[in-house]
A and B are shown apart, each in its own frame.
Chain A
């Protein structure tokens, strides 16, 4: 039985609007991280297009009612890229954009890694990799068993796939045919210490997930239209879980960061100086984004 796709058709004007929002979210991320002086720039910028697609087209949600019981659940398992989520949530209306500058500051709702008790709408406390993936499966199991209308999305990083819990959970997801869940893997190829394929190779990733019983979809993580189409396909697939391998460029939009793993855990103003001196990193990033 085919489940209906819950996604609206994306018009050209929708598309232009989303492109604009994605650019604004990237600017917010640079501003936030330059202010906080710590955090994770590359991954946050890399998934800005996904965050835009999710919060402004894909998710069934209401920013004014973050605990609405029928909302889609979006689990951010790789919590370190939360600046991207925070920026998208603020633009969607969950909280005032003014608060973005409090990221990582004492007393802020925007904790360095998301805290369920600090900010309504983040769904889980996350940071330790793999835990969100498992929680997403628990949510999706409950929704499937009780025929609830919502869908669970979970974003994982590719380095996160080196944890055992992810594959334990994959067994569970496959056993129970969790079609109420879509895993999205940010395949940006980097982690803190280097390239994933040097640190602990993940390929062949498609075959690994297929062997675990998943439908594997691959998409350019900077093509919003394709992403939305693919997420719609994932949502409408029955009886088989889906993983979306999202090919992204870490640091996307800021040239001196792109593809460079040294920007995984760095921020403009205190990052590696091989291309741009620290004093000009923020300014250069904002200038790059103007031309994106």
Chain B
């Protein structure tokens, strides 16, 4: 049996170590700045919030402050890329890609430039800030863009690696991370590869496939299912585009029922991508966890997860529904 890809003690929610994925992003960026002398960070008045402060201090000549100019920031970033720099455009997901999507489409995706869009406070993680700042449509916006890679790492450890992979990759990448402290469950030694998903727990009754910190809730749901004698496979799929089609199709074949989970609308994100994929290849019942065509509101992450049916218990119940459909067919 291969060694577990999970942190020891992951099962115990009350003692698991917490760190925000934005912290992982900040550290990854600092490291990437050492290796890439042409890496620039562009920021729109939220430097500390996106954890770009360390980069700005270490490389002041390669840090550009834009104030609240998200559209110009992308266009000017594209200009830097045309001149030979690797620009990383950073602000909150609610403003980038929400406010500057056309600039991202035209100047970065269509021109296929080596430029990155990293966005924080994604999904419901902007909690107290309310619906305007809870960006739950970004994956849909970015996933439809030709040439664009879309990454949603699950914890701070994986985010650091994803940032480095995004910068090493030559081409447009959108990477989103979250505001809140969330469980560390992946291992530093696990390689991160664009286009790859990883199986965190083996099982053959139902597959729980997630992207982002909600993957930890999938793991917790697997423990609940285990009590019922149901063996759930848990798949971490941080590469929303390109999707690891091979792993996901294999999971569908093996388990025959799937639950997807993400802090995003159930349309257009990871769940949408998997539904599209499996409708063409071995269709199986799919339950999607996420916002169901509604906006968010102010609240703690826990309150919001319960209200919008995105908790481990909700994933557990969705798995039971998926299993019921599986046995009906």
**Interface residue ranges, A against B (CB under 8 Å):** 73, 116-117, 123-125, 127-128, 130-131, 133-143, 145, 164-165, 168-169, 171-172
Contacts and interface: CB of A to CB of B under 8 A. Distances in A.
Contacts of A138: 75-83, 87
Nearest to B65: A175
A133 B142 CA distance: 23
Nearest to B70: A168
Contacts of A143: 83
A124 B107 CA distance: 8
- Which secondary structure characterizes the binding site on chain A? helix
B75 A133 contact: yes
A139 B72 contact: no
Nearest to A138: B79
B80 A165 contact: no
A134 B71 contact: yes
- Which secondary structure characterizes the binding site on chain B? helix
Given A125-B107, A165-B103, A137 B83 contact: no
A133 B103 CA distance: 12
B112 interface: yes
A266 B46 CA distance: 45
Given A128-B102, A128-B106, A123 B82 contact: yes
Interface string B41-75: 00000000000000000000100101101011011
Nearest to B100: A165
A125 B83 contact: no
Contacts of A133: 75
B79 A141 contact: yes
Given A128-B102, A142-B79, A142-B84, A135 B107 contact: yes
B75 A131 contact: yes
Given A137-B76, A142-B84, A142-B85, A131 B69 contact: no
B110 interface: yes
A76 to B, nearest CB: 13
Given A130-B75, A142-B83, 19 more contacts: A124-B78, A128-B103, A131-B102, A133-B75, A134-B78, A134-B103, A134-B107, A137-B76, A141-B64, A141-B76, A142-B84, A145-B61, A165-B71, A165-B72, A169-B69, A169-B72, A171-B67, A171-B69, A172-B66
Nearest to B66: A172
A140 B83 CA distance: 9
Contacts of A127: 106
A125 B78 CA distance: 11
Nearest to A113: B106
A269 to B, nearest CB: 30
A257 B103 CA distance: 33
A188 to B, nearest CB: 23
8 contacts: A124-B111, A128-B102, A135-B82, A137-B76, A138-B77, A142-B84, A164-B71, A168-B69
Given A143-B83, A145-B61, A134 B75 contact: yes
Contacts of B69: 168-169, 171-172
Nearest to B64: A141
Contact of B82 (A128, A139, A164): A139
B75 A139 contact: no
Interface residues of B, number: 27
Given A116-B111, A125-B111, A165-B103, A135 B71 contact: no
Interface string B109-121: 0111000000000
B76 A124 contact: no
Q: Identify which of A133, A171, A172 gathers the most chain B CB atoms within 10 Å of its CB.
A: A172
Nearest to A171: B69
Contacts of B110: 125
B233 to A, nearest CB: 41
Interface in B90-146: 102-103, 106-107, 110-112
B83 A168 contact: no
A139 B79 contact: yes
Given A169-B72, A172-B72, A131 B103 contact: yes
A142 B77 CA distance: 10
Contacts of A117: 111-112
A125 B82 contact: no
Contacts of A125: 106-107, 110-111
A141 B76 CA distance: 9
Contacts of A164: 71
Contacts of A140: 79
Contacts of A128: 102-103, 106
Nearest to B71: A165
Given A124-B111, A128-B102, A171-B67, A165 B79 contact: no
A131 B104 CA distance: 10
Closest 6 pairs between A and B when the two form their complex, measured CB to CB: A138-B79, A134-B75, A168-B72, A142-B83, A135-B79, A168-B69
Contact of A136 (B64, B79, B87, B106): B79
Nearest to B75: A134
Nearest to B112: A117
A9 B78 CA distance: 35
B78 to A, nearest CB: 5
